[in-house]
A and B are shown apart, each in its own frame.
Chain A
């Protein structure tokens, strides 16, 4: 005889199946939406990866033009002189590009111009025809340089405009005539960015670090990962900052999203990959989506914190002079919270980096793929080379975003007080 032991049955709560059916329902009902999101994100990542690995002459010129435009629009003193022609030039470029992309209109115009005008350029690039986007980008750059030199009296803006134009020409010469490979040219752009934003130390680090990546033959993988990180960060910031603002304004929203953020941040990141695959199949897109979800919470938290930290009396001052709430947000709270929000963006980028390897499991490619293959094949060399490339990217991005903070209005004010 054996006595029957007392058994307490805990009913099985089908948590997993709930999630499963919820995801099924979402896929069945919102399928087209996910397709669109997936297509947009995929296109962005591909475009950015291509830009970073093999930029075209048109893209490089465009970057130079945008740098000059940013200088024109950002400087306070230029508002009267430079902003309107700058915006006009940008708009003209956008319209012409659209016309070109939709109907090939610009190509038609160029085709009807006398050929000798372009012969030297075609010889230079070894091309058999004139590339319309490049022409447009060159025209935009030229227009902005002229605006910089005529409409403003800011010497630094002149230097920026001339420097950007010279750098563009120098890149063309280096690549098409001297024959420097493109990855080294992009590397130089990173070094220049580091120099401008942070200083020579980071520039030196960027130079050596990215050179190491090139020499390990990891450039393409690193740029693919960087593209994925940048797109994921952009999406995460675009979602998290508005939510953070809402949470700062409304205590109830704040209380509501706190546990959700905890959940998002602590659920093992691998788990996100499963529904992401079911929505977007394998590839870069589920990698981006999983990264966005995992990396978003600090963006929300620090945005809320930053806005709540803004002195109550300053907001009151805005109200007392009759400013509407959105204007107070835009002109008082966001500028003063920017340093904290940037710290959040920095965190988002760091978390994205840590997701890259995991995303490699679902075929997102890039460095994650190398590391994952290294694990699968227990190939120490492959794994470490991929890992070290991630470290270089991580340090570069961290220092770069950390240094951006010093351009924030609050940081400027603090520096001035010393």
Chain B
């Protein structure tokens, strides 16, 4: 069961909203129905969000994303269509039932923080539980925990106005976390923060999400932010869904000129990860003798190979010149160069450049226990920068040879 499901959602402001919905359902653009004197904010939007997913709704101002998110927790009533939260159609609930859903299932983080200036940080964080009628000691305990999670321990008794913007939004996040709901709506939550703090907050959100596993619906107008945070991204245009997909799908195969123009400006190096661009590595087993290794490398058409131990853990790199001079009796160990850069598959491509510049070897992509997953050579890096359409197929220059090669092309995410 999806955590949140939106089915043919429409929100039209104005008296003749119903007529407008009929016309819009026939596929007309919202500018064509200007004579009805209505504002169509959200048109025919359907999607499903799975539990534990970060679903980003991306659109420019006026694309209806704020209206959309407010329909998901019933702050706005849809003109047509349904919203299901954990299987319950919230458009049919009474006001009191809807309030219960909000306090128990969905919390929200706001663009301008919306902290209560007359309450302390602790009381702000405890607000959701207070509304739910939880006893003071219990809610104080939970609020302290969530403040600690966001790194604000020690600030409990301050007032929000005494905190910086980034800290205020962390209080906003702590308030949503303390409410202990499965779903968190984040409405342009980081847009009011300056760029450096925004990046920190994104990192912190991803870290928190890794341990908490909430369902997060995140609204943003910043495609880079969307690509960084989103497991899946829904691009809105003029109230309609332009495309829904993973960051990679939207980057590599935009389904319309609009989306394509959007992703043109995306910094691909921050979206793509080592895991998504890496090639299968040329690797040799540490037990092989130099001549065998050299032959394998010539077959693969490369002059460098990674050396793995029997558990497929990375030991280092050998190059062809050194192998030529090596004594067969001494094995690979004598010519092994251990100065290899190792990165995890989630590392952004942007962070690979300076590593690639500092060494003649390809960069090794390894998993948590140092097992080789793939390699990123300099030419692979350059090819990753090219937008789709310019064929980047030449990155497959290396091939796996020896036994014990780990080829894992899986997605980093």
Residues on A facing B (Cβ under 8 Å):
79-80, 311, 313-314, 316-324, 327, 332, 335-336, 409-410, 412-414, 416-417
Contacts and interface: CB of A to CB of B under 8 A. Distances in A.
B341 interface: no
Contact of B159 (A80, A321, A327, A417): A417
Contact of A322 (B102, B112, B158): B102
Contact of A412 (B73, B101, B103, B159): B159
Given A316-B75, A319-B75, A322-B102, A417 B161 contact: yes
A417 B162 contact: yes
A412 B161 CA distance: 10
Given A321-B179, A336-B118, A416 B108 contact: no
Contact of A413 (B96, B103, B159, B179): B159
Interface in B107-132: 107-108, 110-112, 114-118, 127-128, 131-132
A416 B75 CA distance: 32
A410 B161 contact: no
Contacts of A336: 116-118
Contacts of A324: 96, 99
B159 A322 contact: no
B66 to A, nearest CB: 11
A322 B100 contact: yes
Contact of B103 (A80, A317, A322): A322
Interface in B27-73: 73
Contacts of B112: 311, 313
Given A409-B118, A412-B118, A322 B161 contact: no
Interface in B158-198: 158-162, 175, 179, 185
Contacts of A314: 114, 116
Nearest to A313: B114
Nearest to A320: B108
B102 A320 contact: yes
Given A319-B75, A324-B99, A336-B117, 15 more contacts: A311-B112, A313-B111, A313-B114, A316-B110, A318-B131, A320-B108, A320-B185, A322-B104, A322-B131, A322-B132, A332-B116, A336-B116, A413-B118, A417-B159, A417-B161
A323 B99 contact: yes
Contacts of A416: 158-159, 161-162
A79 B137 CA distance: 12
A321 B128 contact: yes
A317 B127 CA distance: 10
Which 5 residue pairs across A and B have the least CB separation, nearest first?
Answer: A322-B103, A409-B118, A417-B161, A322-B102, A317-B114
23 contacts: A79-B136, A313-B110, A313-B114, A316-B110, A318-B131, A319-B75, A320-B75, A320-B107, A321-B102, A321-B127, A321-B175, A322-B128, A322-B131, A322-B132, A323-B99, A327-B131, A336-B117, A409-B118, A410-B117, A410-B118, A413-B161, A414-B161, A417-B159
Nearest to B185: A320
A345 to B, nearest CB: 19
A318 B107 CA distance: 10
Contacts of A417: 159, 161-162
Most buried by B among A79, A320, A410: A320
B352 to A, nearest CB: 41
A71 to B, nearest CB: 20
Interface string B83-110: 0000000000000100111111011101
A321 B103 contact: yes
Contact of A335 (B99, B100, B104, B118): B118
Nearest to A412: B118
Contacts of B161: 413-414, 416-417
Interface string B141-169: 00000000000000000111110000000
A313 B337 CA distance: 60
Contacts of B160: 413
B90 to A, nearest CB: 12
A316 B114 contact: yes
B179 to A, nearest CB: 6
A335 B179 CA distance: 23
Nearest to B163: A417
Contacts of B75: 316, 319-320
Contacts of B101: 322
Contacts of A409: 117-118
A280 B158 CA distance: 53
Most buried by A among B107, B117, B175: B117
Contacts of B118: 335-336, 409-410, 412-413
B173 to A, nearest CB: 13
B77 to A, nearest CB: 13
A319 B116 CA distance: 13
A326 to B, nearest CB: 12
A412 B118 CA distance: 7
Contacts of A320: 73, 75, 102, 106-108, 110, 185
Contacts of A332: 116
A405 B111 CA distance: 30
Contacts of A414: 117, 161
A316 B111 CA distance: 12
Contact of A321 (B107, B111, B115): B107
A417 B161 CA distance: 5
Contacts of A323: 99, 103, 131
A94 B212 CA distance: 53
B129 to A, nearest CB: 9
B179 A317 contact: no
Nearest to A322: B103
Interface string B185-228: 10000000000000000000000000000000000000000000
B114 A311 contact: yes
A335 B110 CA distance: 21
Contacts of B162: 416-417
Contacts of B104: 322
Nearest to B161: A417
A318 B119 CA distance: 13
Contacts of B107: 320-321
A413 B96 CA distance: 32
Contacts of A318: 131
A409 B175 CA distance: 20
Contacts of A79: 136
B99 A317 contact: no
Contacts of B131: 318, 321-323, 327
Most buried by A among B75, B104, B118, B159: B118
Contacts of A327: 131
